[in-house]
Structure 1
Amino acid sequence: MAEIRRYPFVWHVRSGTTDHLVHVRRGKTVHSGPGQAFWFRPLSAALSEVPIDDRELSLLFHARTSDFQDVSVQATVAYRMADPDRASRRLDFGLELKNGKWRGRPLEQIAQMLTEAAQQHALDLLVGLTLNQALVSGLGAVRARISQGLAADDRLAQTGVEVVDVRVVAVRPEADVERALQTPAREQVQQDADKATYERRALAVERERTISENELQSQIELATREEQLVTQRGANERRRATEAAAAGRIETQAKAEQTQVLAQARAETTRLVGAAEAETEAARMAVYSEIDRGVLFALAAREAAAHLPQIGSLTLTPDAITSALTALASSTAQGAQGAQGSPGAQGSQGSRGGAR
């Protein structure tokens, strides 16, 4: 807003660069333009300040489609005062000199004018569209219709208002209708999500099945190899046992043959020794058969004496001498009787006696 300073006989006013200040005195325009600063007399001056910056106006109104459905339109209109001098003459932009504020509400008048004009153009368009058409292509159509209608509006042109831009944010039905319209799409999205979930689960199950089959195949392969290993170990053990048995059998046969050979050698040795001993004994007996009995007794006594233990002292009792003499006499008598019974023996005895 303009800055007004009071002095005793004259006042001073200064406006900003985005405010168009108009000074009228006695029906004539004295100063007009943005960023003005001048002195004036309050009793003869009329000041108007028109903003020339771009302003935005938010619009929200309801309309009805051809199928009798209520929709709400949310839009934004950007405008500016293209001809501030004309606007100052058509609308009340006059300033109160006491406080520098507008006496009226010119911006509210402009907002109402733009709202009514934009709403009328949007209603004329939407009344010929169905709800689906309004929701699908309504944004662009409503924006184009409002832009064209406001650009061609004579009242706005005569007021000095220029529409810079029109934006339609949304064309929405009532809440329950919107939920009803969203239900098929939501169901379709849910079905797609369920389908993706099922496909993901099916893929996971398929992968798990593949993994299980691979594990089972690995287990089968391991079992087969283990079976082959057990079979090979059994074959090796049987071969080892067969080889050990064959080696033991060969060793046993060798020992048996060795024992048999040794036994045969011992038997042959024993036989030869026995035969030699028998021959020796026979030769000895043959020699003994030709020797006199007394000589034999003497030899026997010598042989016995050779095997008797060493005698340190010998004690002869009368009983022992008597027994020995008796036995000697008895053996002498038996020898004499034998000699008398055989003439050859007697002759031989006689000759042996004569020889003695």
Structure 2
Amino acid sequence: MADITRYPFVRHLRSSATAHVLSVRNGRVVQAATGASFWFRPLSAVLSEIPVDDRELPLLFHARTADFQDATVQMTLTFRVVDPGLAAARVDFSIDPVTGRWRGTPLEQVAGLLTESAQQHALDLLATVDLGTALTGGVAPIRQAVERGLAADPRLAETGIAVIGVRVVAVRPEADVERALQTPTRERVQQEADRATYERRALAVERERAISENELANQIELARREEELVGQRGVNARREAEQAAAAAEVASEARARREQREAQVRADAERLAGAARADATAAYLAAHADVAPDVLLALAAAELARNLPQIDSLVLTPDLLAPVLAKLGGTR
């Protein structure tokens, strides 16, 4: 919107850098510039302000495909006014010389023209394809059809408007149709997920089986080694018993030989001692062979006295003395 400053009998207009201003007086253009600033008389000047910057026009409309299905198309058009003088001649861009506001709604007229033209080209394309083709083909065919149609539209060229960009955001069917179309894909994805789950479970079962078999093999190997260990322990115990028996036998034989030698030594000693005693006795008897009997008795009594135990006291009772005395009296 242009800034208009009021003074007595005259006005001053200052536009923006993206607006083209036309000043017409008596059917003749006296000012035509972008970003203009000039003085004018409000009673004789006809002012028009045409925006020359890029404008975005979002569109959302419904279309029917060849298989009688409704589809919603969402797109955005980018346009600009390339010929402000021609646009001002075809569309009312005049502004109030007091407020600087448009007297009408020129941008809405331009938007309606672009909307109807873009919709027509998109509808013509979608009417020749079914819904599945429109959805799987993507937005490129629709964008190209709209671009070609708008570039060849004579009304836009005669209005001085150029479309510089078409962006198709989405093509979507109705909600229930979309869910129905998504169902096979969802089922296929679910089947793939189920298959992956089953494969993962099967792999887990296979791994568990492998682990169980490995544990069983380990247990069998441990049992076999334990059996070998038990057998080896038995062999070792038998060897220890055999070695202990052999050692005991060797010890017994050594002890028997030692006892035999000791007995032999004792026997030899006793034999030598007996022989010595016999020789001594023989010598003793030979020494007393010529001795008188009385002397021998005396020697025997002396020997007997030496061998008798020691007598500390002797008690003579009448019972012992009576026979002796009787014998003594009888001898008289």
Bucket of the pairwise TM-score, normalised by the shorter protein: 0.7 to 0.9
**Counterpart for residue 110 of structure 2:** 110
Q: What amino acid sits opposite 2:223 in the alignment? A: A
Q: What amino acid sits opposite 1:210 in the alignment? A: A
**Counterpart for residue 182 of structure 1:** 182
**Counterpart for residue 226 of structure 1:** 226
Give the TM-score normalised by the residue count of structure 2: 0.88
Higher mean alpha-carbon deviation, 178-187 vs 208-217, is at 208-217
Shift in Å, 1:128: 1.1
Q: Which 5+ residue runs of structure 2 have no aligned equivalent?
A: none
**Counterpart for residue 122 of structure 2:** 122
Give the TM-score normalised by the residue count of structure 1: 0.82
Helix, strand or coil: the match of 1:249?
helix
Q: Which has the larger radius of gyration?
A: 1
Q: RMSD of the TM alignment (CA)? A: 3.3
**Counterpart for residue 90 of structure 1:** 90
**Counterpart for residue 341 of structure 1:** none
Deviations 1:146-188 (A, max 9, x none): 1111111111111111111111111111110100000010111
Distance 1:112 1:222 in 2: 89
Residue 68 (1) aligns with residue 72 (2): no
Distance 2:283 2:312 in 1: 37
Deviations 1:26-72 (A, max 9, x none): 11000011010000000000100000011111111111111111111
Helix, strand or coil: the match of 2:257?
helix
Distance 1:232 1:24 in 2: 124
8 Å contact kept, 2:47–2:94: yes
Shift in Å, 1:223: 3.4
Q: Which 5+ residue runs of structure 1 have no aligned equivalent?
A: 334-356
Name the CA shift for 1:176/1:225 in 2 (closer, same or farther; >3 Å): same
Distance 1:214 1:141 in 2: 61
8 Å contact kept, 2:6–2:98: no
Residue 297 (1) aligns with residue 288 (2): no
Name the CA shift for 1:43/1:313 in 2 (closer, same or farther; >3 Å): closer
Name the CA shift for 1:313/1:159 in 2 (closer, same or farther; >3 Å): closer
Q: What amino acid sits opposite 2:217 in the alignment? A: Q
Distance 2:81 2:307 in 1: 173
Name the CA shift for 1:147/1:294 in 2 (closer, same or farther; >3 Å): same
Task: Select the structure with the greater relative contact order (CA < 8 A; seq sep ≥ 6).
Answer: 2
Calculate percent identity across the aligned residue pairs: 59
How many residue pairs match? The answer is 331
Name the CA shift for 1:224/1:312 in 2 (closer, same or farther; >3 Å): closer
Name the CA shift for 1:308/1:66 in 2 (closer, same or farther; >3 Å): closer
8 Å contact kept, 2:77–2:163: yes
